[in-house]
């Protein structure tokens, strides 16, 4: 199916010829750089690694921990040999030699680094790209404070010691201050001091028996933030503001991230978080209820727009600060020979300008609405169904909570109970109700972001796009203003089928025949289902005397129609 996904930009593997010069401002900047990356095993992290290696970075250190019996190097070897790296492998067959796994964990103090590795990083690293985060909305405040907040602080402390540091890049979220409806590219007042939150989390880490008290108070604690994740990101951004006085920092705020647009391959994804997961569940016929306001803009952003915008922001901010840092060094050196108040004041003013800079990476102002996204993806799922579906793709949508309550009962709870009842007698261990319960809890968390609309200021990011050379704009496609949902949704659906469902072109016809049978079965079930409901309400009405009351009212008004 990979060849069936239509490329929307020049093919990446053709960019090594004479039409794409080997030397461009951004490629020259990253060539020979040493990068420390966190989150390199995640969705975005893998795209960062691929692009940095394609830009001829000298070395990419990837912070990784052992997991499920596999060491860090084993995990990277498995991840970095997949379909995402096919283009890179054609250009640089030995690319894996420029990736090094280092054992570490953002949940630990000093991110779990040994002194030997730490000293090596301090001596050689040019760029720290912090993309690791626990993105679960329902995780405890203590856990997210230790991973997302303390882990970020520990990396900032490491960055302060790096002797060759050019930039520290932090991947935040556009919803870090979602309590505001208009979000500019600037720092806002944090909900509390991040160091205090870290101390609280460390206290409950040492006294786990008392953690229940924190969990009970979490909702009140994080209010008006809707979840612990966005709360932890708001506090992490405050750390960026504080440390930005001492080290060069850029903060990237992406909105809801979906599959890649084009770079290095169209519609690639390897996770089912957020919108990806909802669409996969709908395609399977599992998710029957979707809660969103169809008239509001769906602020979705392709993953490669995020990664390329990050690299562009790092390059641009470095160029902005370069003359400033050189000026500061000159002033400092002159103070050694001639220390006076005027030079001291200039130095202080210059240092004040070295604050962190924020870039919002969000959808363009006239982006698609949730209703438009839903309708186009429904058409795509009907045209290209999956062979793994358990029912036909007919989700019910609403923006109202009371309607959601009844729909969940009729389309999730009752069918799930009946399905599990049948499976129990067939000795099948699978159960739908636990999955529906987990899905419903996730939908409650996601509802907040799909029933409200935010306005984002993107001036900083748009200015970066304008300063990129024409060749860099092609090699680092990132300008969201050039994104068109209608031309992308076709690839997006096929990408989900290809990379998540592992479907092939030969699966479409069997899937369509299977879906036709599901539609016939669905119609029959509806007839039986609503007939039983009608009988239930009829006998209930007779039991309560409602039927006779309705009949008497009809008898009273019937003469007026003659």
Tell me if 174 is assigned to some domain: yes
Residues 477 and 541 grouped into a single domain: no
Question: Is the per-residue pLDDT at 472 higher than 70?
Answer: yes
Question: Is the per-residue pLDDT at 274 higher than 90?
Answer: no
Q: What is the pLDDT of residue 138?
A: 83
What average pLDDT does the segment 519-538 reach? 84
Tell me if 421 is assigned to some domain: no
Distance CA 148, CA 158 (A): 16
Structure tokens at 104: 């570490």
Distance CA 168, CA 248 (A): 6
Question: Is the per-residue pLDDT at 547 higher than 90?
Answer: no
Q: What is the pLDDT of residue 1?
A: 53
Q: What is the pTM of this model?
A: 0.89
Tell me if 206 is assigned to some domain: yes
Tell me if 52 is assigned to some domain: yes
Highest mean pLDDT among 154-168, 387-401, 403-417, 504-518: 154-168
Residues 467 and 519 grouped into a single domain: no
The model's confidence at residue 428, banded by pLDDT at 50, 70 and 90, is confident
Q: Hey, how many other C-beta atoms are within 10 angstroms of the C-beta on 87?
A: 19
Closest by CA to 283, choosing from 394, 371, 444, 376, is 394
CB neighbour class for 51 (10 Å; exposed up to 12, middle 13-18, buried from 19): buried
Residues 481 and 562 grouped into a single domain: no
What average pLDDT does the segment 447-476 reach? 95
Q: What is the pLDDT of residue 16?
A: 44
Q: Which DSSP letter does residue 367 get?
A: P
SS3 percent helix, strand, coil of the chain, rounded to 5, is: 60, 10, 30
Is residue 146 within 8 Å of residue 197, measured between CB atoms? no
Highest mean pLDDT among 13-22, 193-202, 534-543: 193-202
Tell me if 27 is assigned to some domain: yes
Distance CA 488, CA 111 (A): 39
Q: Which DSSP letter does residue 181 get?
A: S
Q: Hey, how many other C-beta atoms are within 10 angstroms of the C-beta on 287?
A: 23
Distance CA 39, CA 129 (A): 9
Domain that holds residue 61: 2-270+297-322+355-369+454-500
What average pLDDT does the segment 167-195 reach? 96
Q: What is the pLDDT of residue 341?
A: 54
Residues 480 and 561 grouped into a single domain: no
pLDDT in tens, 70-119: 777 888 888 898 899 999 999 999 999 999 999 999 999 999 999 999 99
Reported as type and span, the H/E element at residue 99 is strand 99-103
Q: What is the pLDDT of residue 537?
A: 76
Q: Which residues are CB-neighbours of 266 under 8 A, at least 6 positions away?
A: 5, 6, 7, 8, 260, 491, 495
Closest by CA to 203, choosing from 135, 149, 145, 152, is 145
Residues 559 and 476 grouped into a single domain: no
Distance CA 165, CA 550 (A): 79
Tell me if 10 is assigned to some domain: yes
Residues 519 and 495 grouped into a single domain: no
β-pairing, 289-291 vs 396-398, is parallel
Distance CA 380, CA 378 (A): 5
Return the higher-pLDDT residue of 427 and 391: 391
Residues 494 and 533 grouped into a single domain: no
The model's confidence at residue 267, banded by pLDDT at 50, 70 and 90, is very high
pLDDT in tens, 286-343: 898 889 999 999 999 999 999 999 999 999 999 999 877 666 566 555 654 455 555 5
3-state secondary structure 119-157: HHHHHHCCEEEECCCCCCCCCCHHHHHHHHHHHHHHHHH
The CA radius of gyration of the chain, in Å to the nearest whole number, is: 27
Is residue 35 within 8 Å of residue 52, measured between CB atoms? yes
Residues 494 and 522 grouped into a single domain: no
The model's confidence at residue 15, banded by pLDDT at 50, 70 and 90, is very low
Q: Supply the CATH number for residue 54's domain.
A: 3.40.50.720
What average pLDDT does the segment 385-400 reach? 87
DSSP 508-528: HHHHHHHHHHHHHHHHHHHHH
Structure tokens at 11: 């093919």
> 303-337 and 43-54 helices cross at what angle (nearest 10)?
60
What average pLDDT does the segment 394-420 reach? 87
Residues 487 and 560 grouped into a single domain: no
Total count of domains within the chain: 2
CB neighbour class for 141 (10 Å; exposed up to 12, middle 13-18, buried from 19): buried
Residues 494 and 537 grouped into a single domain: no
Distance CA 559, CA 562 (A): 5
Residues 560 and 461 grouped into a single domain: no
pLDDT in tens, 199-228: 999 999 998 888 888 888 898 889 999 999
Tell me if 8 is assigned to some domain: yes
Tell me if 308 is assigned to some domain: yes
Question: Is the per-residue pLDDT at 383 higher than 70?
Answer: yes
Residues 317 and 216 grouped into a single domain: yes
Q: Which sign, positive or negative, has the C-alpha torsion 388, 390, 394, 395?
A: negative
Question: Is the per-residue pLDDT at 360 higher than 50?
Answer: yes
């Amino acid at each position: 199916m990979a060849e069936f996904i239509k490329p929307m930009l020049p093919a990446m593997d053709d960019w090594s010829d004479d039409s794409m010069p080997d030397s461009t401002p951004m490629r020259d900047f990253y060539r020979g750089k040493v990068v420390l990356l966190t989150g390199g095993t995640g969705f975005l992290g893998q795209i960062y690694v691929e692009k940095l290696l394609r830009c001829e970075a000298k070395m990419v250190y990837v912070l990784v921990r052992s997991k499920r019996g596999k060491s860090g190097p084993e995990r990277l070897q498995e991840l970095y040999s997949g379909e995402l790296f096919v283009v890179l492998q054609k250009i640089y067959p030995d690319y894996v030699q420029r990736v090094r796994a280092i054992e570490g964990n953002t949940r630990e103090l000093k991110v779990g680094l040994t002194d030997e590795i730490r000293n090596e990083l301090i001596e050689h690293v040019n760029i720290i790209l912090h993309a690791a985060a626990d993105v679960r909305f329902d995780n405890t405040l203590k856990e997210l404070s230790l991973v997302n907040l303390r882990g970020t602080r520990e990396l900032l402390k490491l960055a302060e010691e790096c002797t060759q540091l050019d930039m520290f890049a932090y991947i935040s979220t556009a919803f870090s201050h979602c309590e505001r409806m208009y979000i500019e590219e600037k720092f806002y007042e944090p909900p509390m001091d991040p160091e205090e939150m870290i101390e609280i989390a460390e206290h409950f880490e040492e006294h786990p028996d008392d953690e229940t008290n924190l969990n009970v108070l979490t909702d009140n604690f994080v209010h008006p933030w809707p979840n612990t994740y966005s709360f932890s990101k708001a506090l992490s951004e405050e750390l960026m503001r504080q440390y930005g006085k001492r080290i060069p920092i850029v903060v990237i705020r992406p909105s809801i991230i979906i599959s890649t647009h084009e770079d290095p391959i169209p519609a690639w994804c390897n996770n089912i978080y957020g919108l990806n997961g909802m669409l996969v569940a709908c395609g399977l016929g599992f998710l029957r209820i979707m809660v969103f306001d169809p008239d509001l803009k769906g602020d979705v952003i392709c993953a490669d727009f995020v990664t390329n915008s990050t690299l562009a922001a790092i390059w641009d901010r470095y160029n902005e600060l370069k003359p400033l840092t050189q000026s500061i060094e000159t002033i400092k050196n002159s103070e050694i020979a001639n220390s006076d108040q005027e030079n001291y004041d200039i130095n202080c003013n210059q240092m004040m300008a070295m604050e962190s800079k924020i870039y919002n990476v969000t959808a363009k102002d006239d982006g698609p609405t949730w209703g438009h996204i839903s309708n186009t993806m429904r058409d795509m799922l009907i045209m290209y169904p999956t062979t793994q579906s358990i029912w036909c793709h007919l989700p019910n949508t609403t923006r109202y909570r009371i309607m959601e309550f009844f729909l969940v009962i009729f389309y999730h709870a009752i069918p799930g109970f009946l399905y599990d009842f049948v499976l129990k007698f067939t000795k099948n261990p699978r159960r739908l109700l636990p999955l529906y319960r987990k899905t419903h809890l996730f939908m409650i968390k996601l509802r907040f972001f799909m029933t409200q609309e935010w306005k984002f200021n993107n001036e900083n990011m748009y200015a970066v796009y304008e300063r990129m050379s024409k060749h860099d704009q092609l090699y680092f496609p990132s300008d969201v203003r050039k994104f068109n949902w209608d031309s992308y949704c076709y690839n997006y659906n096929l990408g989900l089928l290809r990379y998540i469902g592992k479907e092939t072109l030969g699966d479409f016809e069997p899937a369509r025949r299977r879906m036709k049978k599901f539609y016939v079965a669905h119609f029959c079930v509806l007839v039986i289902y609503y007939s039983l409901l009608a009988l239930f309400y009829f006998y209930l009405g007779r039991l309560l005397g409602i039927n006779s009351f309705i009949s008497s009212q009809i008898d009273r008004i019937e003469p007026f129609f003659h």
